[in-house]
Amino acid sequence: MKLFVHNFMSSRFLKNVTVGYPLELTVKQFVEKDIEFDRENTIVMLDKIQYEALLVAAAAINQSDRIPAEKPSKWDELSDDQLRQFHHLLMNIDVIDGELVCPETKTVFPIKDGIPNMLKVDAEK
Amino acid sequence: MSIPTPQYRLQAIRAHDVYEPAEDTFLLIDAIEKDIKEIRSRNPQLVLEIGCGSGVVSTFVNQALGGNVTSMATDLNPHALDVTLETAKLNDIKIDVVRTDLFAGLENLIGKVQTTKATKTTFFSQVDVLLFNPPYVPTEEEPSSNIELTYAGGRTGRSTLDRLLPRVPELLSPRGVFYLVALHSNDIPSLLKEHSDRMTASVSMERRCGIEHLYILKFVMKEVKEMAPLAESE
């Protein structure tokens, strides 16, 4: 599971969950891929994401130092090197083993073999 | 110019009760190939397939749109996700998969307005190309096994589709397009009328394959002059 996927995830579909975002993330194992950097594509992706959730994801792999603690005001003002850091977090980090946790109910959704399992029935077992 | 059909390993598909690419799969691929110029002109970034099965359709769309799209796919069946990853790898592309029912757990693909003290940020819905080949065969009983889940659609053949359809306009980006596989017996006229206020629907392709009369329906978001009101959060 790439970290950009975490950005789109929530546990709002669970009963009694109002926000369910961002999901807590624990990473036991991840691999770093080398997906080609493209400035325009990275900016397009950054326009889609929510910064608070990206910070959660970066912290989960102890790579918070790659990006600023505050959301930059304009993506296209960043240098290629700065954007590469975002690209690396969003597209190159592939979580193999870990857990996603609902921030409200603490329901656990496992990530195994790189695949997150968001099935409610499995989580409630 | 014809876009090659993705390679896939039939053995792995058959061994794991994953829906084998069949006429419906290829009709969906044909419909996308027919429209590929138009889809490209929408400048899509994010593709989501719900119920990806073998992953052949997602792989085809990713290849047809070139390297600039991000593909995501969901399925209930864990073997389908394994096979989808394998199909992607075999064709040297990338798909990110999530095991879930429809798109549960991916609600943040849905647009919203986020207000803080200082700013008001509008997040549009994210899915530029949505693909769904649901279990559409009318069946007496609800499905119980993995393989039944791939085709059994309940009495009208629409039990899964009717759970997704109401939520499609929420998911699609303002330039989004949705391709749906349906059977004649699923009541095509009523499907086309669904969301007629927000989406334009048309029959993209139809084909008779044995006893099945298959349709590919295409839904396009209507242009909005002003941003439709979206759910507020935080």
With 70 as the cut, is the pLDDT of residue B225 above it? no
Query: What is the structure's pLDDT at B232?
Result: 52
Whole-number percent of chain A with pLDDT over 70: 98
Query: What is the structure's pLDDT at B233?
Result: 46
CA distance B190 to chain A (A): 28
With 50 as the cut, is the pLDDT of residue B53 above it? yes
Tokens linked to A38: 């493209």
Query: What is the structure's pLDDT at B234?
Result: 43
The domain locations on chain A are 3-123
Position B4 in a domain: no
Position B3 in a domain: no
- The beta-carbon neighbor of A10 closest among B46, B85, B108 is B108
Q: Is the dihedral of CA B27, B105, B142, B158 positive or negative?
A: negative
Position B15 in a domain: yes
Averaged pLDDT score across all residues of chain A:
95
Strand residue runs (E) in chain A:
24-32, 93-101, 108-112, 115-116
- What pTM did the predictor assign? 0.92
Domain that holds residue B195: 10-233
What gap in Å lies between CA B74 and CA B18, rounded to an integer?
Answer: 13
Task: Count CB atoms within 10 A of the CB of residue B24.
Answer: 23
pLDDT in tens, B142-187: 777 888 888 888 888 898 999 999 999 999 999 999 999 999 999 9
Q: Is B76 on the interface with A (CB under 8 A)?
A: yes
Contact status, residue A64 vs residue A54, Cβ threshold 8 Å = no
ipTM entry: 0.93
Position B2 in a domain: no
pLDDT in tens, A52-64: 999 999 999 999 9
- Residues of chain B contacting A71 with CB distance shorter than 8 Å: none
CATH topology of domain A3-123: N-terminal domain of TfIIb (2.20.25)
With 50 as the cut, is the pLDDT of residue A16 above it? yes
- The beta-carbon neighbor of B104 closest among A13, A21, A48 is A13
Averaged pLDDT score across all residues of chain B:
89
Once rounded to an integer, what is the mean pLDDT over residues B182-211? 94
- Contact yes or no for B99 and A116 at CB 8 A: yes
Query: What is the structure's pLDDT at A100?
Result: 98
Q: Is A66 on the interface with B (CB under 8 A)?
A: no
pLDDT in tens, A29-82: 999 999 999 999 999 999 989 999 999 999 999 999 999 999 999 999 999 999
- Contact yes or no for B99 and A119 at CB 8 A: yes
* Domain CATH number, residue B63: 3.40.50.150
Whole-number percent of chain B with pLDDT over 70: 94
- Contact yes or no for A118 and B104 at CB 8 A: yes
Q: Is B115 on the interface with A (CB under 8 A)?
A: no
Position B5 in a domain: no
Query: What is the structure's pLDDT at B151?
Result: 83
Cβ density class A26-64: b for 16+ within 10 Å, e for less: ebeebeeeebeeeeebbbbbbebbbeebbbbbbebbebb
- Residues of chain A contacting B234 with CB distance shorter than 8 Å: 19
pLDDT in tens, B66-120: 867 999 999 999 999 999 999 999 999 999 999 999 999 999 999 877 777 777 7
Q: Collapsing DSSP states into helix, strand and coil, what is residue B82?
A: helix
Question: How many domains, chain B?
Answer: 1
Contact status, residue A19 vs residue A103, Cβ threshold 8 Å = yes
What gap in Å lies between CA B136 and CA B158, rounded to an integer?
Answer: 6
- Residues of chain B contacting A114 with CB distance shorter than 8 Å: 85
Question: Considering all CA atoms of chain B, what is the largest pairwise distance in Å, rounded to the nearest integer?
Answer: 61
